[in-house]
Amino acid sequence: MTVRTRVTSHEVQRLEFPVDQTYDEFRDRYERAVPAFDASRWGDVDPRDLDWATVQANADAAAPRGFLLYLRNEVDLVMRLAGHPERCTSYLMGNHTIAERMYRHDHAVMLYAPLRTQIHEDPDGQVWFTIDRPSTRFASFDDPRIAEVGVELDHKVADLLTALDVDSTAILRA
């Protein structure tokens, strides 16, 4: 059997939303709305003693807005050394139970799940929230089941940003 390399070209929409809050205020609100994933809860768990319904219930309880933070990267700490004083934090935000609904159809979705997000300030002091539109990432798999979850993620991101007083609904619900 000959296996060939697959090449997929796709267009992604990067969305940059202006935030009418200070950097610290918005970052604090974002991190409260999207709590950190607590990997220590799974350290001693034997997968044979746990069912998926329990995993889903735990994720739902831990992620009141549907998302968890899997990683926070303080980008600005290093970039200041190169003379860039603006604040910038990047994140991996997602939900493993939502990701599983795509993973079952194509494991490569994990290239885009969790979602990458960023909060930064520009040289004029404007704060921005940036994310690649999930539906444009997941549409590249050419599977309607995966694409449907991508659109659902668009709506969940819109709900999150609405709760954080960022106007995104017109774009993410289009």
| Alpha carbon separation from 100 to 10, 95, 96, 108, 114 (Å, rounded) | 22, 9, 6, 11, 11
At 130, give phi and psi (nearest 5°): -125, 140
For 143, other C-beta atoms within 10 Å of its C-beta total: 15
Core vs surface per residue 69-85: b (16+ CB within 10 A) or e? bbeeeebbeeeeeeeee
Per-residue pLDDT of the chain (174 residues; tens, 9 = 90+): 889 998 999 999 999 999 999 999 999 999 999 999 987 766 566 767 778 888 888 889 899 999 999 999 999 999 999 999 999 999 999 999 999 999 999 999 999 999 999 999 999 999 999 999 999 999 999 999 999 999 999 999 999 999 999 998 899 988
pTM comes to 0.92
Q: Domain 14-172 belongs to what topology?
A: TATA-Binding Protein (3.30.310)
